[in-house]
Amino acid sequence: MTKADLVNEISKKTGIEKILVKEVIEAFMDSVKEALMEKNNVYLRGFGSFIVKKRAKKTARNISKNTTIIIPEHYIPAFKPSKAFLTEVKDKVK
């Protein structure tokens, strides 16, 4: 499902104009991005959490040049579904 599909689906279910739905979705995504960039997690009860994970420094290999490089410590965004959400998806998708 794309963002456009999501906008259409929400617009049908709520009766709200597509333009307004699109603005709300984009504002939500911007808010989540800003929170994660400030290393703040976003918790949505019954849905899941958008979290910032810390990746430790590690050594990697460049196979084609047969050299090693050091990948510094860094942070990545991640999504962790809630237990209720996870159970619901597992039960419906088989």
pLDDT per residue as tens, the chain (94 positions): 999 999 999 999 999 999 999 999 999 999 999 999 999 999 999 999 999 999 999 999 988 888 999 999 999 999 999 999 999 999 988 7
pTM summary value: 0.80
> Cα(44)–Cα(26) distance, rounded to whole angstroms?
17
Return the CATH number of the domain spanning residue range 3-92: 4.10.520.10
Query: Of 71, 72, 91, 75, whose CA–CA distance to 83 is shortest?
Result: 91
Ordered by start, the domain boundaries in the chain are 3-92
Average pLDDT, the chain: 95
